[in-house]
Amino acid sequence: MVKEMRPDMPLFFGEPLLGTHFWGKPLLEKTILEETMSKSYQKVSSYEAEKGSVKRAVLLYSGGLDTSCILKWIQDEYQIEVVTLTLDLGQQVDDLKAIQKKALALGAKAAYLLDVRDEFADRYLSYAIKANGTYQYDYYISTISRYLIAEKAIEVAAQEKADAIAHGCTGKGNDQIRIEAACLALKPDIKIIATVREWALGREEELDYAQQHGIEVPVRHDFPYSSDDNMWGVTWESGEIEDISTVPKIDQFLTVTPIEKTPDKPEMVEITFKEGLPVAINGKSMKLASLIKEANLLGAKHGVGVKYMVEDRVVGLKVRGIYEHPGAEIIISAHRKLEALVSTRLENEFKAIVDLKWGELCYGAQWFDPLMGDLNAFCANLNQRVNGTVKVKLFKGKAEVVALESPYAIYDDKLATFMKDYSFNQNCSASFIELYSLQMKLANQKIRENAQ
């Protein structure tokens, strides 16, 4: 059941959504871009809301710079009522109580909270774990949350009889695609207000706008960073991070313990898996959302999961971000090794292809494509045998799998041993090698014959 809050009711909030950034060279190109946006942006898609054509919008609200300005801007520009929606996705660094008061203070007609921590873990992150979900190897796709956000936005829109969804995604980013495509897949006649594509405000201009309208925001001129946060990771962008030739000042914003300050002794963590999902940590059983939280705390203590990444966005840009994924790195590292232990070589080779495609679809706004369901079904079937325990050593930024066991392990120490007491029949080796190398031997023989 959706919990709704109105100006006279207490409320509980969460989830920073989406940053606003200008990528590319400064000054001249930025000025041209802003001038072009302010003069020539035209709505060409039928699902984009026109002023005067919608009456009420559900705004995906985080309380950050973008959505705080947007809440004021939409009311003034569109002359419509705005209902805010914020999700508790297990944020690691937010002041949720401060966020709760802001939406109503800025004129929201109603403020909705959904505590979706368990749903996020069970219905989304469970698939990411089984698929070893990464994009371009380093990014554990925490923005998988966008699909749940879209689902809940459509639910609230129906309850509030809203005819539009509003968001603060940058017009150069991936999140606009994820949220809009998902909303349209779920409700084709919904209208979208993508404010950042309409206004000609860069980050500095937004800060000025907020100051002019008395909007308190957590971003300062001397702290230019944009963050996105949920239980699966924290993303940092903007500021000097945008300049790939500059070493980011991570001490200004990082929440994971810097390597220099991590313990000088390693810590061993044991994770128990059942059908591909972690069910216990250090022998203590817990639900998935709680286990992820515990893994985050353990990993952050040892500086695990910090990634400097230049990635390929869906829109064609290369951008840099700093990612913090302590819990995700521990869990995925353990899962990947256990999965490999219980699967055949052919299964592992094919699973790597499936994992790669899964990451591309999840990152690339294709969550509701039928192929994603097919890939998830394959991963679920293979993971029925991914049961056992994995020991992970945490030390100086690394999460290293050092021991594992499973009743389904395709492993026999009597076959694998190099000691005298073995059962592997080495008499078969020579005949195997002769057949195994036959085509290679013949190919090289023909090459030599034709070279003469």
Q: What total number of domains does the chain contain?
A: 3
- Please report whether residue 222 resides in a domain: yes
Assign residue 261 the CATH number of its domain. 3.90.1260.10
Report the pLDDT value the prediction gives residue 199, as an integer from 0 to 100: 82
> Catalytic: 122?
no
The answer to whether position 213 is within a domain reads yes
Place of tokens 């590319």: 24
Which is catalytic among the residues 88, 175, 229, 355? Answer: 175
Q: What is the pLDDT of residues 294-342, one digit of tens each?
A: 999 999 999 999 999 999 999 899 999 999 999 999 999 999 999 999 9
Other C-beta atoms lying within 10 Å of the C-beta of residue 24: 11
| Residues 166 and 98 placed together within one structural domain of the fold | yes
Does residue 174 sit in the same domain as residue 285? no
Tell me, yes or no, whether 436 and 370 share the same domain.
no
| Pair 138, 265 in one domain | no
Does residue 233 lie in a domain region?
Answer: no
Q: Which of 146, 178, 320, 385 is catalytic?
A: 146
User: Based on the domain organization, do 83 and 221 belong to the same domain?
Assistant: yes
Residue 237, in any domain of the structure: no
Can you give the pLDDT at residue 23?
Answer: 32
Task: Choose, from 66, 94, 229, 355, the residue flagged as catalytic.
Answer: 66
Express each pLDDT in 136-187 by its tens digit. 999 999 999 999 999 999 999 999 999 999 999 988 889 999 999 999 999 9
Catalytic-residue membership of 6? no
Q: Give per-residue pLDDT as tens, 333-380.
A: 999 999 999 999 999 999 999 999 999 999 999 999 999 999 999 999
Rg (alpha carbons) of the chain, rounded to whole number: 26
**Same structural domain for residues 8 and 156?**
yes
Q: What is the domain extent for residue 439?
A: 414-451
Q: Is the pLDDT of residue 29 over 50?
A: no
The answer as to whether 385 is a domain residue is yes
Domain identity same for 211 and 275: no
Nearest of 153, 154, 144 to residue 121 by alpha carbon = 144
Contacts of 353 (CB under 8 A, 6+ apart): none
Q: Are residues 23 and 49 located together in one domain of the fold?
A: yes
Catalytic residue at 226?
yes
Say if 260 falls within a structural domain.
yes
Specify if 234 maps to a domain: no
Q: Do residues 194 and 89 both lie within one domain? A: yes
Query: Is 142 assigned a catalytic role?
Result: no
C-alpha–C-alpha distance, residues 161 and 187, integer Å: 13
- Catalytically annotated residue among 62, 126, 226, 227: 226
* Same structural domain, 304 and 173: no
B/e letters for 186-225, b = 16+ CB within 10 Å, e = fewer, are: bbeebbbbbbbbbbebbbeebbebbeeeebebbbeeeebb
Residue 427 pLDDT exceeds 70: yes
Do 180 and 272 fall within a single domain? no
- Single residue among 203, 227, 251 that ends a domain in this structure: 227
pLDDT tens, position by position, 383-424: 999 999 999 999 999 999 999 999 999 987 666 655 555 667
Could you tell me if 143 and 246 lie in one domain? no
Which tens digit of pLDDT belongs to each residue from 230-284? 999 999 888 898 989 999 999 888 999 999 999 999 999 999 999 999 999 999 9
